[in-house]
Amino acid sequence: MKRVGFSFKVKAEKLVEYKAHHQHVWPEMLAALRETGWHNYTLFVRDDGLVFGYFETPHSLQQAQSLMAVKEINTRWQEFMAPYMEDNARPDEMFQEWEEVFHLD
């Protein structure tokens, strides 16, 4: 499994709503993530809107995103989340991958 870390930015004034939506992610979206190999998917957020994401996958970040891109539910979720992002962009188009420099099992 590859460990993938990434970040993107949410509008600080939209953080409360953004967090609320992630307490109730659509079941179809959760199923699509599992089907396409996104495991241990976790999002962390700072008060300024910086989001750090982590997941494990048998694929690269780009491959994992490509597998999700063909899922209609992903398109709907990304468009639903776009108004919360800086520049009103889809979150999956804003991922900046982080380089792993240390891991302890």
pLDDT at 82 (0 to 100): 96
Examine residue 103 and state whether it is found in any structural domain, yes or no. no
pLDDT at 43 (0 to 100): 98
Question: For residue 6, what is the domain's CATH number?
Answer: 3.30.70.100
Q: Is the pTM of this model over 0.85?
A: yes
Examine residue 78 and state whether it is found in any structural domain, yes or no. yes
Examine residue 55 and state whether it is found in any structural domain, yes or no. yes
pLDDT at 87 (0 to 100): 86
Blockwise average pLDDT, block size 10, the chain, 105 residues: 95 97 98 97 97 96 96 97 92 92 95
Range of the domain at 87: 2-98
Q: Total domain count for the chain?
A: 1
Catalytic residue among 22, 39, 59, 103: 22
Catalytic annotation present for 22? yes
Examine residue 17 and state whether it is found in any structural domain, yes or no. yes
Closest CA relative to residue 69, chosen from 50, 88, 54, 91? 91
Examine residue 104 and state whether it is found in any structural domain, yes or no. no
